[in-house]
Structure 1
């Protein structure tokens, strides 16, 4: 394709630049496949089952089942195998739910691209592209397929992902005639997954999906990567330590049993079962499900979290660095004032005499406001200004066609176009006032050019007045094309002032951040006065001395900024590269930083931050790729909501871990104490396995999705290095584990009063399981009473407890299960005692919480 004329290629692909493909062509060509890289073949159900069984603890269970069968304890062997199967099923269900959540997330975060179809420019998902589509390329957008470029305007593309060349390639739309040309030298081609860093262009799709250059690479390598969160890694380490500890304790128990002359085979089974019960082998899967469900919940709140580790980090954020435009404000820029011909007036006062100002701003403009809004909100506001004079972008472009341009970039902060305007080649330049004035020599007054020196003070005073009203000021200058550089010897035309009002919900969100110990920092390219007006309105800054300007920042070393960073709440007139300095300065103080961004140049700061947040509406594809989270509504309040959700998710994970470990320790204490005291074994292996199954599944998952507490955003952010057992967690699980073990033994001794071992074991079995079910309610809040947190708020937990008690009742009271589980039916009084003893776990925790609250009040 690179060695053919563009007209030939368009003809071969049966398409054209003016209209693109028609609907019928798109439908027909879509049959050739979607524009996506083929994913790795999903694992079969059989392989998934093998993965669930490929665990050391499962091997131990299988050995236990075999030993039971050899000892002719057939019921034990059967139940152990049932437990193995049920654990595998639960694991498969959890894995499937997590994968579905993540698949939905990927679907929502699919990038879009600009395509001309049926004569209309529209945004479509990149997967929907077909050969022959006419794609419009803008700086900051990824190249969605392999394209033959047919029109370029200073277009540069970063192809480092394919070629390793770090410098962006300047593109052309002519022929590359050399044969066997290297990929990096195909300057008239744009390749999938590279991205435009400068300028703009138009290309026709030549290859999609696995037929693209990046697709050929993808066919040779397996990109699949399972990312484990820091929390999951800590849990794996915890399980390892628990396993070693459990093994040592079980060896000790087995040794004591030998000394005491107990049945060795029975004690072998008890030891093996206890080892399995102590280790929360299902916990990593539960955590994955909780994180994935949390991610799904965040999607409903307009936050797409791309990576699960980001959920954990969100809970630790204590500084939110936010852009102003579109995040703190509404991103609905509106021109309210104009300065033209030495006259400052409202936009409603525009007349035909002001056409040069209006035409210039509309022509030096890449946005579109007819039908779907396309482009930067500032440029759309300039087009909307034309509606006062009933001017449309399409008609004005047709009447005054563009013949050349210098696109806007963040270094120059200007944009220049050359248009056929009233029979002349006119250069229009718009941009930041200070920079435009450096390029001007004259000012237009009453259709005559005057030296600008005499009017600089007046221009600056009018600009300052608009800035004090929180208006964003843009300048416009022009000249007749003269053979010199476009942006030189310009004539100043005038100014416009536009406002992007603060979102109503932002002030409340900032207040919530303050209560949560989170600092809000605003970063903007606007003038100091404009920045302060908005920051003051929403409560970010109360003093103009808390604002640092980009010029000061540019002359400062990183170490200097590190020392004084705490003094500032707003950074104005900042270049994108300064954001990295700000992030590093905050991190040097130990802050966990969230940074927002939308442009190509924001990518470094998004990656440098602990949480990079990209704008879903106005953000470039590059910023979205670099970010950890994407806001689908570009709203600051959504970041705060995501932080709140992150805190709740972490708290729920902590609740689940403490619950499972305290329950498992209860089983350990009960057996260990009984063996040390040379009592009969209070729990049979099948009892331990069954209790482990009942408590480690539904109650644990229910705690994982517990509704958030009202005070979660009144607490200080936790440290990223904080242990799961911080703030008394270790003491909590040890005391509760010990108490569960003690009441299990009390029930056992009560049941033995008539000399019936089965009766005693049944009582212990029930108290162990039911007390753990009741204990799940204690874990909803480790500090507050269950009556204050609301017993019925977590309906899933209530259902889990009820179901668990019903199952336990069936095992004890239905004769067929008595033989399987070695239990015996209980009397009404027995049940009263079981429930009473089991409820004591709530009573003890309520007393402990009351004492804690009383101590805190002091």
Structure 2
């Protein structure tokens, strides 16, 4: 591919076998057949059937399917139907989530302009943008979306906003002049790029690339890369594998022993089915999904819209947030921050809302009372072609920089455009670097000029400051340039203002632009959001490292990072990144806090390097150039208001208020959810282990199975689930955001939690098997009913105790989780119902228990609480704060 940006216009036309009059119709048709339509490649994603089948690709589901088949073959059809019902529900939830995620490409295609104005055989015609081919000469003007990548041939004050593609927040001045070959994308001022918007001026350009060969097309291909697996899904798969192996070994062992003892194969299969049912907590995927879904509702109330459920937990385990600057850390709106007119004047307020005050040395002043300040503000408003309108909020129509000057004049009450009629305008151009207007204001003609500092000062003979009007000396000129450099060093975009009054007559540019009166300097920037500093501080306390990745200049990025107190490492420019190998980047990645002039490829490399260091990476963004990184990160977070459809569809979560502080709230919610998933998992697995151990131990010593398959399924799916649901929605505990993220490689059941789980499971085994043996003389059916009741009550005790892994049940607020209490009542009712309601008695083969048996069950089951209290005292809480309890 030629470096079109570095070639002169004439050479670009020659290489494309085109001319200033464009292509002929025949040649264009021939090229359209050869290059194909100017459309983004349609890389088809998985179809609905494939997405649905993918929901069954994990070990827990496969084991449950096997258990259902065994149950059906063994005559236990009720078991099989219940298991299959649970699996179908989980599959439908997953299908809905993934199907919605396959729309990213459609949103990307919407950015392509539907029509384009193109020269064909010397005539300017309007055609569908899809018919453009390399070599076509197009015409663009303010308000147009660029239909293809193109080399500029000629331009009149042409500017384009490319923030969605490059991250550069300011409009880019466009010119036909070649730039150096190694210029980064944001500095290729001789090019126009598909999907960007022309905001000022007009020009002609020759199409160099169409469709998938454009910069936007390259990004669309990068979006198709497979996103990373969510950490929670990985951990659940690991847990499923472990459970599958355990169940398989136990089932084979029991089957072998029973067959060896001469038991019928069908009866042996029935016991194996019971063991398979006992060994898999059928409702665990449901409870995890419920915890995530409940978390999404909570986050939605806080303006964080989750598009993929696992993203909730992933955000909670995040160790690095790679954040875009424009529109994320900043407002995405140019704002005049200060004016220098012989003294420094601070201007408050940010964005396009025309509200703010003017201060000198901290004291508020009336801007109309100071001549130099007043004339500077009036000049900025009159020498202007933009508008500020209120449509669902204050917005700029036109150039954002000029719009900031209109907002400034409205703040000061000095917007005189309605009282002044424009007579003449000499627009800004890249060669003159200034704009001059003449307005009839009453009986006077006022000449206003704004532009580059050195250009404006060169045309001034007088200066107006706090001491009045006087001739402009060489010392004044030097000082003005020095002040402008200081302001630029603070990442301010600096413009100079000058004016003069004339009588009617000569309106030539040479006459108008000499002997001007210098009045002041505008210092403007895209300001940080007010709440971001606090949010970044919270991230640091939570052990989360914020990293800025922006397309802006290095000095601008460094200044914003310093203002936000996130400049805790080095600053790396895109050109420096290009010269580094992946290994060199990996060696330095932990010491860099700001990346400037970053392209889509740079962001992908940065995320890859961070993930290689074991980080869980969240990436925020709003532009097209952010979309591949949003897909590549562990969790992609798009901006809801300023974000493009592409970034939203490529993301896992969308911030409805574009507020960085919302991410912090989402992190806290994610941490709460993970803790709750861990508590619910430990509770459910303790019951699961106890069920397996009860059956396995009984078979090993030659006893009949203490529990039937349907009884086990009832405890797993009904009696156990109600308390698990309560644990899944436990409120967040205090201090959760003052702890470092847990180790991303840590399993759901960490060492301490696993010890707790096995210990409480052993207590359930002892209590249940002991009561079964104690009541065996009263008949097998009665003994099984006692064992069923014992396991159910043990599960209830364990549920309440599992609210905290290191606080006693006596320290916990009993009303701290009303949903858990309701779940415990429902669980108890489900156990009693199976024992006493005749229709359930027949289905579950239970018998009514006496009062003495219930006393035995309640007393013996307390062993679970005793063991849990002992384990809590001995457990060591880890530095990640992976366990805890609210309301304690």
Bin of the TM-score, shorter chain as denominator length: 0.5 to 0.7
1:416-455 alignment runs, 5 A limit? 421-422=438-439, 437=454, 441-443=458-460, 445-446=462-463, 455=477
How far does the alpha carbon of each residue in 1:613-633 deviate from its partner, in whole angstroms, 9 at most, with x for none? 444344455655665544332
Match of 1:803 among 823, 826, 831: 826
Counterparts of 1:142 and 1:295, CA distance in 2:
38
Q: Aligned pair in 2 of structure 1 residues 49, 592: CA closer, same or farther (>3 Å)?
A: closer
Q: Does 1:494 pair with 2:520?
A: yes
Match of 1:757 in 2: 780
Structure 2 residue aligned with 1:666:
690
* Map of 1:79 onto structure 2: 78
Pair 1:274-2:275 in alignment: yes
Q: Alpha carbons of 1:458 and 1:478: their partners in 2 closer, same or farther (altered >3 Å)?
A: closer
**Inter-partner Cα distance in structure 1 for 2:53 and 2:648:** 34
Q: Which has the higher contact order (CA 8 A, sep 6+)?
A: 2
Task: Spell out the pairing of 1:427-826 with structure 2 (5 A cutoff).
Answer: 437=454, 441-443=458-460, 445-446=462-463, 455-461=477-483, 464=486, 472=492, 474-476=494-496, 494-497=520-523, 506=532, 508-520=534-546, 540=565, 558=580, 574-576=596-598, 580=603, 591-598=615-622, 611-619=635-643, 624=648, 628-694=652-718, 697-752=721-776, 754-788=777-811, 790-826=813-849
Alpha-carbon distance in 2 for matches of 1:49, 1:459: 65
Give the distance between the partners of 2:53 and 2:747, measured in 1 at CA.
35
Instruction: Please state how far the C-alpha of 1:741 moved relative to its aligned partner.
Output: 2.2
Contact residue 330 and residue 500 of structure 1 kept, 8 A: yes
CA shift, 1:279, in A, is 2.6
Contact residue 283 and residue 716 of structure 2 kept, 8 A: no
Tell me the distance in 1 between the aligned counterparts of 2:636 and 2:878. 40
Per the TM alignment, residue 720 of structure 1 is displaced from its structure 2 partner at its CA by 2.6
Query: Pairwise CA RMSD of aligned residues?
Result: 6.5
Q: Which residue pairs with 1:121 in the alignment?
A: none
1:427/1:478 contact within 8 Å kept: yes
Partners of 1:200 and 1:564 lie apart in 2 by 41
1:844 has 2:867 as partner: yes
1:329-340 to 2 correspondences below 5 Å: 335=336, 337-340=338-341
Alignment check: 8 A CA contact 1:318 1:717 kept: yes
Q: Alpha-carbon deviations, 1:768-818, whole Å to 9, x = none? A: 233224323343333334454544333333322221211110111123322
Residues of 2 paired with 1:608 and 1:87: CA distance? 32
Deviation for aligned residue 1:374: 1.8
Q: 1:476 to 1:311 in 2, by over 3 A?
A: farther
Whether contact under 8 Å (2:304, 2:656) holds in the other structure is yes
CA displacement at 1:824 relative to structure 2: 0.8
C-alpha deviation, 1:267, in angstroms? 3.2
Structure 1 residues 437 and 96: alpha-carbon distance in aligned structure 2, compared to 1, 3 A threshold:
same
Q: Deviations over 1:477-510 (max 9, x none)?
A: 6899979xxx9x9997631246888766555544
- Of residues 363, 367, 392, the one that matches 1:348 is 367
Distance 1:467 1:706, change over 3 A: farther
Instruction: Give the structure 1 partner of residue 249 of structure 2.
Output: 248
In 2: Cα distance, 1:823 partner to 1:713 partner: 49
Matched position secondary structure for 2:340: strand
Q: What SS class does the counterpart of residue 865 from structure 2 fall into?
A: helix
Aligned length in residues = 742
- Matches of 1:361 and 1:761, distance apart in 2: 87
Secondary structure at the residue paired with 1:475? strand
* In 2: Cα distance, 1:248 partner to 1:463 partner: 75
- Alpha-carbon distance between aligned partners in 1 of 2:519 and 2:70, rounded to the nearest angstrom: 88
Instruction: Return the alpha-carbon distance in structure 1 between the equivalents of residues 660 and 256 of structure 2.
Output: 62
Aligned mates of 1:378, 1:530 — CA distance in 2? 18
| Aligned residues of 1:331 and 1:377 also touching (Cα < 8 A) | no
Quote the Cα distance in structure 2 between the aligned partners of 1:392 and 1:743. Answer: 87
Q: Which moved more, 1:832-841 or 1:740-749?
A: 832-841
Show the counterpart of 2:24.
none
1:647, distance to aligned residue in structure 2 (A): 1.8
In structure 1, distance between residues paired with 2:77 and 2:367: 84
* Cα distance in 1, alignment partners of residues 302 and 53 from structure 2: 36
Secondary structure of 2:521's partner?
strand
* Distance in 1, Cα, partners of 2:421 & 2:609: 46
Distance in 2 (CA, whole Å) between partners of 1:507 and 1:296 is 27
Query: Separation in 1 of the partners of 2:426 and 2:45?
Result: 44
Q: Structure 1 regions of 5+ residues with no counterpart?
A: 1-36, 70-76, 116-134, 145-150, 162-167, 173-189, 203-213, 215-222, 407-413
CA deviation after TM superposition for structure 1 residue 704, in Å: 3.1
Q: Per-residue CA shift, 1:291-323, capped at 9, x if unaligned?
A: 344334323222234455543432232344556
Report the CA distance between 1:761 and its aligned residue. 0.7
TM-superposed CA distance for 1:763, in Å, is 0.8
Q: CA deviation at 1:764?
A: 0.8
Tell me the TM-score normalised to structure 2 length. 0.65
Name the TM-score, length of structure 1 as normaliser: 0.67
Q: Within 2, Cα distance between the matches of 1:599 and 1:855?
A: 39
Whole-angstrom CA distance in 2 between matches of 1:66 and 1:607: 42
CA distance in 2, matches of 1:91, 1:555: 44
Instruction: Decide which moves more: 767-776 or 679-688.
Output: 767-776
Residues 133-174 of structure 1: CA distance to partner in whole angstroms, max 9, x if unpaired? Answer: xx99879x8999xxxxxx99858899x99xxxxxx9x999xx
Could you tell me which residue of structure 2 aligns to residue 211 of structure 1? Answer: none
The verdict on how the C-alpha distance between 1:584 and 1:257 changes in structure 2, with shifts beyond 3 A counting, is closer
C-alpha change, 1:685 and 1:276, in structure 2 (3 Å) is: closer
Q: Where does 1:151-230 land on structure 2 (aligned, <5 Å)?
A: 154=158, 195-196=195-196, 229-230=230-231
Of residues 395, 399, 405, the one that matches 1:374 is: 395
Look up the SS of the partner of 2:388 in the other structure.
Answer: coil
Unpaired segments ≥5 residues, structure 2: 1-42, 114-139, 149-154, 166-171, 177-191, 203-213, 215-223, 346-359, 465-469, 500-506, 882-888
Residues 304 and 662, structure 2, Cα contact 8 Å, conserved in 1? yes
8 Å CA contact 1:91–1:282 kept in 2: the answer is: no
- Mapped partners of 2:735, 2:95: distance in 1: 33
SS at match of 1:744: helix
> Quick one: distance in 1 between partners of 2:231 and 2:483?
55
Q: Matched residue of 1:304: which SS?
A: strand
* 1:265–1:112 CA distance, 2 compared to 1 (3 A): closer
For the 8 Å contact 1:364–1:416, the answer to whether it is kept is: no
Structure 1 residue 65: deviation in Å? Answer: 4.8
Residues 334 and 457 (structure 1 numbering): CA distance in 2 closer, same or farther, change over 3 Å?
same
Once the 2 structures are TM-superposed, how far is the Cα of residue 672 of structure 1 from its aligned partner? Answer: 0.9
Would the aligned equivalents of 1:748 and 1:763 in 2 still touch at CA under 8 Å? Answer: yes
- Which whole-Å deviations, capped at 9, do the CAs of 1:262-305 have from their partners, x for residues lacking one? 56533321211211331345544544444344334323222234
CA distance in 2: counterparts of 1:609 and 1:428, whole angstroms: 47
Aligned partners of 1:415 and 1:701: how far apart in 2? Answer: 69
Post-superposition CA distance 1:431-463 (Å, at most 9, x none): 7xxxx5489745563499968785233443477
In the aligned structure 2, how far is the partner of 1:561 from the partner of 1:99? 34
Contact (CA 8 Å) 2:806, 2:877: kept in 1 or not?
A: no
Pairwise CA distance, 1:382: 2.3
- Match of residue 9 from structure 1: none
